[in-house]
C-alpha cells in the first residue's frame, strides 16, 4: 500500500511551504489529480497519492522519486466507500499533513431518467459523501495543527442547473457550497479553503462521461492556478476558457444560464453515460 522509505519530513518551498510538509491528493492517478500531485512534488512536498488504480499510482510515485522528489506514499482504494476513506486516514496518521486536494470524482451525461441508478448513486457517494468525510476528517487535523489548506474541486456547472448532466451538476453545486461555507468557518482556525471551478479540462473525464469537448484546458493549468489562489480567493476559475464562460454567463438570470448550459450540453453529450478520471482509477 505504501512507499515510505524516507526521512521524517520533506521541505516544501515557496509560498505553499506554509502548509507543508505533506499533501494528500485524491484522484491522483489521472487528469487534474495527477497534475496537482506533480505540482506539489515539484514544490518540495511529500505527497500522498490516493485513487483506485494502484499500478498508475505506483508509476506516478516512481516518476516523482526519479525526478528528485520526496518518495510518495501510495494509498490504493475506493474512496466511494467508508473503508476507502478510513484507509486513507489510517495510512496518513503518522504524517504531518498540511494540504489536502480533493480531486477524486466522476460525472455522467445524458437524460437523467435514462441513467443507470447504481451509477448515479456511486457518483453521489464519491462526489459528495466521500468529499464530506475526507474534508471533515482532515479538516479536524488541519484545525488542530493551527494551519492548513483544503482544495475542493468544483466546476463551471456548479452555479446553475444543467440539463443533460443534471445530477453531476448537482453534486458539484454541493461541493461549491461546502467550500464557500467552510472558507469562512475555518479561516479563524488557520485553515484556507478554495473551490476550484474549471470549465472543460483535457483529461479522461470527457470520454468516461460520454462528452465531446472542442476546447479544453490543460490539467497542469488548473492545478497551478488553483494552488496560486489558495489562501487568496474562495473560488477560482482556472484557465482562460473558464473565465470567458463565467463572463458570458454572469450577467444572465439563473434561468437564462440554465437554458444556455442546456444548449452547450446538447452539443457536448451523446446518449452514453460514463465516468470521470479518478472514479475507476
Q: What are the residue numbers of the active site? A: 168, 172
Contact indicator for 187, 149 with CB cutoff of 8 Å = no
Q: In the beta sheet, which residues pair with residue 149?
A: 99, 192
Helix (H, G, I), strand (E, B) or coil at 75: strand
* CB 60, CB 72: distance < 8 Å: yes
What is the Cβ-side half-sphere exposure of residue 130, based on CA atoms within 13 angstroms? 33
- What cell does 142 get? 488541519
φ/ψ of 87, rounded to 5, equals -65, -40
Any idea how long the chain is?
281
Q: How far apart are alpha carbons 82 and 20 in whole angstroms?
A: 27
* Extended strands (E) in 129-246: 148-153, 191-196, 235-236
| CA dihedral (154, 161, 185, 122) positive or negative | negative
Amino acid at each position: 500500500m505504501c512507499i515510505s522509505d524516507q526521512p521524517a519530513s520533506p521541505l516544501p518551498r515557496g509560498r505553499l511551504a506554509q502548509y507543508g510538509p505533506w499533501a494528500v491528493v485524491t484522484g491522483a492517478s489521472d487528469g487534474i489529480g495527477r497534475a496537482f500531485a506533480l505540482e506539489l512534488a515539484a514544490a518540495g512536498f511529500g505527497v500522498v497519492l490516493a485513487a483506485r488504480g494502484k499500478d498508475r499510482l505506483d508509476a506516478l510515485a516512481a516518476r516523482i522519486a526519479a525526478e528528485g522528489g520526496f518518495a510518495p506514499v501510495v494509498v490504493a482504494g475506493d474512496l466511494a466507500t467508508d473503508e476507502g476513506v478510513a484507509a486513507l486516514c489510517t495510512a496518513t496518521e503518522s504524517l504531518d499533513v498540511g494540504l489536502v486536494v480533493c480531486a477524486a470524482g466522476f460525472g455522467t451525461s445524458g437524460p437523467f431518467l435514462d441513467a443507470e441508478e447504481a451509477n448515479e448513486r456511486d457518483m453521489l457517494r464519491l462526489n459528495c459523501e466521500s468529499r464530506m468525510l475526507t474534508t471533515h476528517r482532515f479538516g479536524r487535523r488541519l484545525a488542530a495543527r493551527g494551519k492548513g489548506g483544503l482544495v475542493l474541486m468544483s466546476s463551471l456547472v456548479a452555479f446553475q442547473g444543467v440539463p443533460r448532466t443534471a445530477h453531476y451538476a448537482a453534486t458539484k453545486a454541493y461541493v461549491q457550497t461546502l467550500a464557500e461555507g467552510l472558507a469562512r468557518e475555518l479561516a479563524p482556525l488557520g485553515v484556507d479553503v478554495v473551490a476550484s471551478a474549471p470549465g472543460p479540462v483535457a483529461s479522461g473525464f470527457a470520454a468516461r462521461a460520454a462528452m465531446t469537448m472542442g476546447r479544453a484546458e490543460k490539467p497542469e493549468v488548473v492545478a497551478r492556478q488553483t494552488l496560486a489562489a489558495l489562501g487568496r480567493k474562495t473560488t477560482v476559475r482556472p484557465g482562460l476558457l473558464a473565465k470567458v464562460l463565467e463572463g458570458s454567463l454572469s450577467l444572465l438570470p439563473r434561468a437564462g444560464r440554465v437554458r444556455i448550459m442546456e444548449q452547450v450540453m446538447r452539443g457536448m453529450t451523446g446518449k452514453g453515460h460514463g465516468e470521470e478520471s479518478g472514479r475507476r482509477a
